[in-house]
Amino acid sequence: MTNTTLDLISSRRSHRAYAPTPLTQEQLDALLKAAVESPSAVNRQPWHFTVVRNQVLLNELNAAVWEQMMKRSPEKRSPRFADKDFHVFYHAPAVIFISGMPDNHYTPIDGGIAVENIALAAESMGLGSVILGMPRDAFAGEKADAFRKALHFPEGWDFVIAIAVGTPADTKPAHEVKENRISFVD
């Protein structure tokens, strides 16, 4: 079957290197439109989107993630942390943080739907992205409240997920699709 949307889904990759080219306001507006138009349980829209282009703040968040990650035993941390130059946000020119209502058990699901809409919108615009869960660790350390404030999270809300976006500076083949992950019940 030939289908533009299905082709877009098949071509999307998780990019881990970006050109320093800033995103335009038009690009950011389009990504955020895709985000806020995402479906959510009972249309609660339990999210808030924060666009961060401030590399100093992203570096501070990166350091906080590193600090928390190093408290784990080596077998419980991502192997990416073996590289001392690893940057959680891959030096992307923009990172969109999604915070959400902690009292709604659908918030993580709704945030996941919104972040995938952003990823697909980015791909459709010739941009690259990578969906990020690791920044969660920055909100477990001593600077957590300062980060929530700096990122304009609504009062009482917390990190759900993030996505780095920019012009990709890498290429990558499609990931292997594991077998036996689909069942039909008739």
**Whole-model pTM?**
0.95
On whether the CB atoms of residues 168 and 91 are closer than 8 A, the answer is no
Write out the two tokens for 131: 């969906």
Q: Rounded distance, CA 6 to CA 149, Å?
A: 39
Q: Each residue's pLDDT tens digit in the chain (186 positions)?
A: 889 999 989 889 999 999 999 999 999 999 999 999 999 999 999 999 999 999 999 999 999 999 999 999 999 999 999 999 999 999 999 999 999 988 889 999 999 999 999 999 999 999 999 999 999 999 998 999 999 999 999 999 999 999 999 999 999 888 888 999 999 999
- Give the C-alpha separation, 11 to 45, whole Å: 28
Distance of CA 39 to the CA centre of its chain: 17
pLDDT in tens, 97-139: 999 988 889 999 999 999 999 999 999 999 999 999 999 999 9
Query: Checking DSSP bridges between strand 94-100 and strand 47-52, what pairing results, if any?
Result: antiparallel
C-alpha distance from residue 48 to each of 1, 119, 153 (Å) = 36, 17, 7
Name beta bridge partners: 47.
Answer: 100
- Residue 127 tokens read as 């941009």
Half-sphere exposure of 21 (CA within 13 A, CB side): 13
Residue type, 97: F
Mapping DSSP onto H, E and C, the string for 116-184 reads HHHHHHHHHCCCEEEEECHHHHHHCCCCHHHHHHHCCCCCCCEEEEEEEEECECCCCCCCCCCCCCCCC
pLDDT at 174: 83
Q: Please answer whether residues 88 and 65 qualify as being in contact, where contact means their C-beta atoms are separated by less than 8 angstroms.
A: yes
Catalogue all structural domains in the chain, each as residue range(s) with its CATH number.
25-166 (3.40.109.10)
Is 124 within 8 Å of 4 (Cβ atoms)? no
Match 């895709």 to its residue by tokens: 34
